[in-house]
Amino acid sequence: MGLWENIEWDIDEEKQKNKKNAEKILKEFSDVEGLNEVLDGVQSLMDSKVYDKVYKASKMDPKEMSSYIDTVDDLLKLRQVKLATGVLKDPPLYLPSLTDVIISTHFNATFSLISGVDYAYAQKKLGHESTVKEHTILERLMSLLYDFDKPGEFQKPDKEFYQKLKKIKWDKQGKKLFNKINGIRGDIAYVIWGPSSTFYTGENFALTFLAACNAAHHNRNRILKDDVIVAYKTYLKLLNTDISKLET
């Protein structure tokens, strides 16, 4: 779509605003290792062609993206889909204060994001074999997070891992940092595409899921500031990875 056609933005001015907001966040959370790298990466999304392609993929009809539409039965044959469906709840309304923080929507958003990145690089219709590869990448993201692109054996998420995810809550400072970083990403999305709540919300769910996975790996039931950093670093790396070329 390009820059939102109904408003003429001064991109340099917007970048300066984001830079100032990033500096405020760095000052407030000066103790958080890796935050500067994350904020630089988020600000770079303003000029990211891949990010734009992922967004466009999220708006496409599934029939345009795939030559094979996976049925519910097809997806349930995938190990993580079956586990997530069996453990994570699917409430009609998501209210973290009343429901679990991590629900099936978080899992689905992460899987969909991977598919969007896959298509963004391929720029052609994908088949069922791509869904299987994307599922493997999902497993690697959940288990290895930032190291998802490194070949080798790893422990795949099991039922016990999902039960840990189900119990996870937000740490107050972790949530505060998450929202602050999201503010910059949200401003960038608004400038590039205009109101885009569906894509932005999907990103939030996926980032929360990755942060929760990191917390679960450290046997914590709270998402801390460090988990937010790992989630964002992982997401930014995923955006810059052609997963079709990864060894699995």
Tens of pLDDT, residues 92-123 = 888 887 889 999 999 999 999 999 999 999 98
Residue 4: the pLDDT is 47
Spatial contact of 126 and 119, defined as CB atoms under 8 Å apart: yes
pLDDT in tens, 116-154: 999 999 988 888 899 999 999 999 999 999 999 998 889
Neighbours of 140 (CB within 10 A): 22
Q: Residue ranges per domain, the chain?
A: 11-245
* pLDDT > 70 fraction of the chain, expressed in percent and rounded: 96
Report the run of H or E that residue 170 belongs to, with start and end: strand 169-170
Transcribe 151-168 into DSSP letters: -S--PPP-HHHHHHHHH-
Q: How confident is the model at residue 1 (pLDDT cuts 50, 70, 90)?
A: very low
- The answer to whether the Cα torsion of 34, 36, 39, 44 is positive or negative is negative
Q: First CA to last CA across the chain, in angstroms? A: 34
Q: What is the pLDDT of residues 163-217, one digit of tens each?
A: 999 999 999 999 999 999 999 999 999 998 887 678 999 999 999 999 999 999 9
This prediction has a pTM of 0.94
pLDDT digits over 6-58, tens only? 566 788 899 999 999 999 999 999 999 999 999 999 999 999 999 999 999 99
- pLDDT tens by residue, 162-176: 999 999 999 999 999
pLDDT given at position 142: 98
CB 43 within 8 A of CB 18: yes
Q: How far apart are CA 106 and CA 110, in angstroms?
A: 6
pLDDT for residue 32: 97
Read off the tokens for 32.
């958080």
Identify which of 189, 197, 186, 54 has the alpha carbon closest to the alpha carbon of residue 122. Answer: 54
Lookup: tokens for 46: 């303003």
